Amino acid sequence: MKDSTTKQSVSNLVPREFGILDFNERVLSLAQDKKNPILERLRFICIISNNLDEFFEILVARLKTNGSEQESKYVRHNTLLEEISIRSLRLVSLQYATLNKEIIPELKTNGIFLKTKETLEKSQALWVEKYFHKEVLPILNPIGIDPAHPFPRVLNKSLNFAVELEGRDAFEREIKIAILQVPRILPRIVEIPVQSSPRKRSFITISSMLSTHIDDIFPGITVSGAHQFRVTRNSELFINEEEVTDLADAVKGELSYRQYGDAVRLETSISCPTSVTEYLLSELGLTERDLFPVNGPVNLVRLNSLPNLLNRQELEFIKFTPGLPNELPKHIDIFETLDKQDVLLHHPYQSFAPVLDFLESASSDSRVLAIKQTVYRTGVNSAVMKKLIKASQRGKQVTVALELFARFDEETNYEWATRLEDAGVTVVYGVVGFKTHAKMLLVMRKINNKIKYYSHLGTGNYNSDTVTKYTDLGFITSNQELGKDINEVFARLTRISGNPKKGILWTAPFTLSDAIIAAIENEIKIANRGRKAYIIVKINALTDEKLINKLYEASTAGVKIDLIVRGACSLRPGIAGLSENIKVRSILGRFLEHSRVMMFFNGGARDLYIGSADWMYRNMHGRVEVCFPINDLVLKNRIITETLEYDLRENVNAWNLNVEHIYEKIENKTGSEFSAQGANLEKLAN
């Protein structure tokens, strides 16, 4: 499983971190696109902030903690961290400029107002004052900094104020600065019910409310300045998996420390004076490179609640009802259907309900003996988990391979693990050192004294929330060879097992990387014989050097390659003599593109695989992943059309990556717009 990657020159590989920042720049363009409804543009603004939080909490924190071999590998004139800082600052500046100059004015046009101290009407100011004194002030607890009260350990991503003070307190202490940590129990955005017109709705952020009434928090002391700030901390969980005896308890114990990891970023209001920012940087152990002054609230993620408060559907994307495949007629037993044919689900255009129905039927069918499922991200109120519990309570043998290290879902998964075990479900945590990222559900049914397998495999998580927002593929089948392979994967997850037998599943960390390379090498051989050789791959990220090098080799041999990479792409297309036959594009839109699809032309056979893995080193060698073939000609043609061909036709929200590794928005020069997501909505949704 060791990677014998051939080293490439610096110019042919681009850091993953740059690809993530590039991706968020493309998200920003969606926020700037006036064709999108205004509340959706606001959501895109919030998505950027959420993405950057995780970027700094994990990737930048990792660089700061471990140093980086990437710095020496990719460095040109600046260190990697310095270039990340420059690019991030530019992105954040454009993000806030878009919010202030485009989004907020457009909200006003639609009767939606975000109020500040300066823009409050008199009646509104009186209401805010009463609300502040009744609901906010009693639970505030500012800390005056002195020898007995050192700088506090502020929570990760919490809202805080650095307050400059003049004068003496009741104990005759001269306090020059206080830190106000805003309790998370307080709502971050509050509607002001007093309006001058019934068609208006006004809101105020908690930061604006505190700024307005900061003097009331420090009676008898002069407040000379109040400056909001926010600290992002290292949120990696540090667990020595080889030493712990109970992984679940170790994760639970480590979660409490996540809020207090080392600081990696400081956000302040743009008006914060240098003396205060220098003080904060010093106390947090940061440098000027880590400072991000912003022109507005320091946490834009909180504005994401505004659309739900408004309920203005005319200012959002048009609602739709997910469709159901024709293969699943109403009132027909799903096992009877699967005995005759496979079923393909293309989310979110098609409903997730058949997966829940599959589980429900399995839990109530007297011939079902066992259910096995992997769980990565489920959500707090998971219908899938509830059905697994019900199945166990009905006497089925239920086994769940639950991933405790699903980033930022660890606490939710831990709680579900407890509930599952209480219901009699066998819960395992996969293999130490390898995240279980595969999306698999296996039902074992006894028919005529023989075990028959029914399975669901997918590209996305068993999460009823993200399934409405991400594009993913789900495949339900009674293919027995595939079922046996899936059962073998579960065997390796639940007990000690030898090397896997060769089957039709491509599995990581065992066969997946080698299988992909073999498929690429097959196209190279075909190209060398002068025949058509073609590869199309749709993934979320492409950073694995070994696979990139093999794609470069294929391009040099004359293989045509189309890559549809939503996020980070370390490959550089269009280099003469190396990647001139490779094209890379990124599709963004209403839904997050999340499907993983591979098509190898193979002399016209068009071998098609879908699965859970991106083309990153971690997916190939550090996770449990599965990719599987689609052989049914009708379903194969559907996937190729709906995911690959549509994406290559896209001319509304598509970006091409050039040889300088700059994304260029595709301009529609034909006058005929084609949106892949729009076409799938029209084709599949109700």
Residue whose entry in the numeric block shows the structure tokens 């004076």:
273
Task: Extract the tokens encoding 336.
Answer: 């009877």
Residue whose entry in the numeric block shows the structure tokens 């998370």:
184
Task: Extract the tokens encoding 309.
Answer: 């408060």
Task: Extract the tokens encoding 640.
Answer: 């190729």
Sign of the alpha-carbon dihedral angle for 529, 545, 407, 677: negative
Those residues whose C-beta lies under 8 Å from the C-beta of residue 448, and which sit 6 or more positions away, are none
d(CA 533, CA 527): 5
Task: Extract the tokens encoding 75.
Answer: 């460095």
What does 553-573 look like in DSSP terms, one character per residue?
HHHHHT-EEEEEESS-B-B-T
Strand partners of residue 13: 571
- The torsion angle over the Cα atoms of residues 148, 150, 156 and 160, rounded to 10 degrees, is 90
d(CA 26, CA 263): 28
Those residues whose C-beta lies under 8 Å from the C-beta of residue 658, and which sit 6 or more positions away, are 573, 574, 664
Closest Cα to residue 230, out of 159, 151, 142? Answer: 159
Cis status, amide bond into 187, omega within 30 of 0? no
d(CA 663, CA 675): 18
Q: Which helix (H) or strand (E) holds 80?
A: helix 80-98
Task: Extract the tokens encoding 392.
Answer: 């166990």
Sign of the alpha-carbon dihedral angle for 629, 631, 635, 638: positive
d(CA 595, CA 448): 37
d(CA 248, CA 428): 10
| Contact of 300 with 46, CB cutoff 8 Å | yes
What does 99-167 look like in DSSP terms, one character per residue?
IIIIIHHHHHHTTEEEE-TTT--HHHHHHHHHHIIIIIGGG---EE-BTTBPPP-PPTT--EEEEEEES
d(CA 648, CA 639): 13
Sign of the alpha-carbon dihedral angle for 491, 492, 496, 498: positive
Tell me the CA distances in angstroms from 42 to 46, 105, 225, 470, 638, one per residue in order.
Answer: 6, 12, 30, 18, 34
Cis status, amide bond into 322, omega within 30 of 0? no
Half-sphere exposure of 451 (CA within 13 A, CB side): 12
Residues counted in the chain? 686
d(CA 616, CA 35): 34
d(CA 188, CA 185): 9
d(CA 510, CA 331): 41
Catalytic residues: 437
